[in-house]
Amino acid sequence: MDRVIRAISADGFVKMTAVELTDAVERARNIHHTLPVVTAALGRTMCAASMMGNALKSEGDSLTVRINGGGPAGTILVVSDNRGNVRGYARNPAVELPLRPDGKLDVGGAVGREGMLTVIRDMGFGEPVSGATQLVSGEIAEDFARYFAESEQIPTACALGVLVDRDQHVLKAGGYIAQLMPGASDAVAERLEAGVKAAGAITNQLMGGTLEDVIGRVLDGFEPEIVKRDKAAYLCPCTRERVLSALAGITESELDEMFREDGKIEVRCRFCDRVYAFTPADKPAILGEK
């Protein structure tokens, strides 16, 4: 089951969030027909966005992550709500690249390294708050670690992983973010670093254990307390009404032109597999939105 859990060390100097999104990333693969390297790139981004979204305070808050590294996968865009439910896509889902020399998917090669990681928080009032940093490697976890260090001034250990089976389905997807709070000593930082190293790859950890186990291993010796548990899923809030309002701006003659060609207009949601069809009978509704 996909979920997000949050913990804090007994001394209060380390906060940690861990996520499993195996079902959600498999759902993304089915919606977008991603090939493995893009499944991994999109899935890692979904895991990070889910954990960051889960930290937002209020119902209706949302967080958007955009990565454009100039690689063949194109822009990756993921949106999370304040529970950690996510939706997203990669511009080009059908990218195939040779495996790296170490046998792993070449996520950095698909994402590219020449570009930015942008995070936008929308709290429902005022202007959305955004921060951005240069990509480090396009491998995504490293890129988020830099984002937290530079844009939010929080020393952060970040692990993100998607394990794709031979038949291309998602075996495991998850990750964690462990952050040092102000006042944390060098000894705390070193102990966290040692915990991260000893814990090993996140997908291996999830194959053999729970999110609680992941936190226990990474924060070994910190006596972590779990403070929050949430379910998460691939969730798209699109509706016919939202699509209608997105069509506002089309002129009547453009509309007539579109109807002349097919007799109907089909709008496919970018985030999910829903298709909304409009016929000439919907003309007043479409034009009335303006």
Binding site for Zn ion (CB under 5 A): 236, 238, 269, 271-272, 274
Query: With 0-12 CB in 10 A as exposed, 13-18 as middle and 19+ as buried, what is 181?
Result: middle
Closest CB to Zn ion among residues 240, 283: 240
Q: Closest distance between Zn ion and the C-beta of residue 136, in Å?
A: 31
Q: Closest distance between Zn ion and the C-beta of residue 236, in Å?
A: 3
Closest by CA to 222, choosing from 257, 250, 198, 251, is 198
Closest CB to Zn ion among residues 12, 237: 237
Q: Closest distance between Zn ion and the C-beta of residue 45, in Å?
A: 18
Closest CB to Zn ion among residues 73, 236: 236
Query: DSSP readout, 99-131?
Result: PPTTSS--HHHHH-SSSEEEEEEE-SSSSPEEE
Closest CB to Zn ion among residues 169, 270: 270
Closest CB to Zn ion among residues 46, 215: 46
Q: Closest distance between Zn ion and the C-beta of residue 242, in Å?
A: 9
**65 bridge partner residues:** 78, 119
**77 bridge partner residues:** 66, 89
Closest CB to Zn ion among residues 6, 27: 27
Q: How far apart are CA 247 and CA 132, in angstroms?
A: 30
Closest by CA to 53, choosing from 63, 42, 44, 66, is 63
User: Left if phi > 0, otherwise alpha if psi is -120 to 50, otherwise beta: which for 264?
Assistant: beta
Closest CB to Zn ion among residues 79, 286: 79
Q: Closest distance between Zn ion and the C-beta of residue 270, in Å?
A: 7
Q: Closest distance between Zn ion and the C-beta of residue 84, in Å?
A: 18
Strand pairing of 225-231 and 3-8? antiparallel
Closest CB to Zn ion among residues 222, 276: 276
Query: With 0-12 CB in 10 A as exposed, 13-18 as middle and 19+ as buried, what is 3?
Result: buried
Q: Closest distance between Zn ion and the C-beta of residue 151, in Å?
A: 29
Q: Closest distance between Zn ion and the C-beta of residue 87, in Å?
A: 7
Adjacency order of strands within the sheet including 225-231 = 156-164, 170-180, 14-20, 3-8, 225-231
| Count of other CB atoms within 10 angstroms of residue 38 | 30
CB proximity list for 126: less than 8 A, separation 6 or greater: none
Looking at residue 13, what DSSP letter applies? S
